[in-house]
Amino acid sequence: MPETYAQSNGGLSVQQQNMVKISALTAVGDLANLKKSLNEGLDTGLTVSEIKESLVHLYAYCGFPRSIRGLQTFMEVLDERKAKGINDRQGSEASVISNDGSKYERGKAILGELTKAKQDGPLTGYSAFAPAIDTFLKEHLFADIFERDVLTYAQRELITISVLSSIGGVEPMLRGHLTICLNVRLTPQQLTHFIAVIESTVGKEKANAAKTVLADVLKDRQQK
112-151: per-residue pLDDT in tens? 999 999 988 899 999 999 999 999 999 999 999 999 999 9
Higher-pLDDT residue of 53 and 99 is: 53
Percent share of the chain, pLDDT over 90:
89
- 87 pLDDT above the threshold of 90: yes
Q: What is the pTM of this model?
A: 0.94
C-alpha distances in angstroms, 19 versus 92, 112, 194?
A: 17, 25, 11
Q: How confident is the model at residue 2, as a pLDDT?
A: 47
**Topology, domain 2-91+148-223:** AhpD-like (1.20.1290)
